[in-house]
Amino acid sequence: MPTQEELIPLSGWRRKLYIIIFEADTRSGRLFDLALIVSIILSLLTVILESVASIRQQWGPQLKILDWLFTILFTLEYLLRLACVHKPLRYARSFFGVVDLLSILPLYLGLFIPESRFLADIRVLRLLRMFRILKLTRYMGEARELKRAMLASRRKIIVFLGTVVLLVIILGTLMYVIEGEANGFTSIPVGIYWAIVTLTTVGFGDITPKTPLGQALASLVMITGYGIIAVPTGIVTAEIARGASATPTDKQSATRLCPHCFSEGHDWDARFCKHCGGTLPRPARGEVS
């Protein structure tokens, strides 16, 4: 994702437009952002309501007009964004650039493939901007913390998912062979689908084992899967807990500094530097909590 600085044009109307559209510190910038959020939510509602048959029958034409209005509005906004940034291609390839484009494409595509126009509500992703706009910096911190925990445990999760995929292919095949097409397990892919539904404890019940052997294997799958479910939870929990406990310790070592040898990492109740023996200044009592 490009940094803001590289995208800002140096001067002129493009700079003014840039500050209104991309920044949120001026009055007009904030008004623009508010108007944007409101129109995203309204356009979302339009798409969702249009999909309900009873509402479509009564309000179909009106909703279609609204739909087109919002799409034209967002198309204009997209073009303006492209026009006012310093390097349009960098914006177009950034996360929000792609989302902005995907938000307007479905309706144009809908002229050729009618059903695809409902995909327009991928524009819900544009609401992610809200975090930045509403200055929810504390939430950003928490989101970063969660993201960090997920990233740190990504390798464990990939190993785990790989094991699940192997397991699911074998179990799906076994159930297909045991239960057969007469009991709903019409092919190996369907068996794999059933194994995923069962291992994740979702349990739709659209396909269920009927033979005693099948039910015995299913019981085994459920109890095994039960133990397996514990693993991702364990991975993520351990990572979040590590993050939580790491923060205060880091603070301790970061806030206390020996004025004699400039070493760090002293316990919060140490009076003398453990490296040179010099006296440490007392920290404020409330500092660590």
How many residues touch a copy of itself under the rule CB under 8 A: the total is 94
CA dihedral (110, 114, 120, 122) positive or negative = negative
Between 34 and 261, whose beta carbon lies closer to a copy of itself? 261
Instruction: State how far the Cα of 29 lies from the Cα of 104, in Å rounded to an integer.
Output: 22
- Of 9-17, 20-28, 91-99, 146-154, the window that binds a copy of itself (rule: CB under 8 A) is 146-154
Q: Which of residues 179-198 bind a copy of itself (CB under 8 A)?
A: 180-181, 186-190, 192-193, 196-198
Q: Assess 211 for contact with a copy of itself (CB under 8 A).
A: no
Q: Are the C-beta atoms of 278 and 261 separated by less than 8 Å?
A: yes
Between 82 and 257, whose beta carbon lies closer to a copy of itself? 257
Binding a copy of itself (rule: CB under 8 A), the pick from 3, 27, 182, 206 is 206
b/e map of 139-170 (b: 16 or more CB within 10 Å)?
A: eeeeeeeeeebeebbeebbeebeeebeebbee
Q: Which of residues 221-260 bind a copy of itself (CB under 8 A)?
A: 222-223, 225-227, 229-245
Instruction: Show the binding pattern over residues 36-75: x = contacts a copy of itself (CB under 8 A), - = does not.
Output: --------x--xx--xxx----------------------
Instruction: State how far the Cα of 246 lies from the Cα of 152, in Å rounded to an integer.
Output: 14
Instruction: Show the binding pattern over residues 72-111: x = contacts a copy of itself (CB under 8 A), - = does not.
Output: ----------------------------------------
Binding a copy of itself (rule: CB under 8 A), the pick from 101, 109, 122, 257 is 122
Residue 248 CB neighbour total at 10 angstroms? 11
Between 85 and 103, whose beta carbon lies closer to a copy of itself? 103
CB of 11 to a copy of itself, least distance (A): 37
Q: Assess 274 for contact with a copy of itself (CB under 8 A).
A: yes
Tokens of 17: 């437009």
- Residue 220 CA, chain-centre distance (Å), reads 34
Extract the runs of DSSP E, i.e. beta strands, from 57-189: none
Q: Assess 139 for contact with a copy of itself (CB under 8 A).
A: yes
**Pick from 24, 29, 2: nearest CA to 85:** 2
CB of 2 to a copy of itself, least distance (A): 23
Strand partners, 257: 264
- The helix-helix angle for 137-152 and 154-179 (nearest 10°) equals 60
Binding a copy of itself (rule: CB under 8 A), the pick from 107, 149, 258, 280 is 149
- Residue 157 CA, chain-centre distance (Å), reads 16
Between 80 and 196, whose beta carbon lies closer to a copy of itself? 196
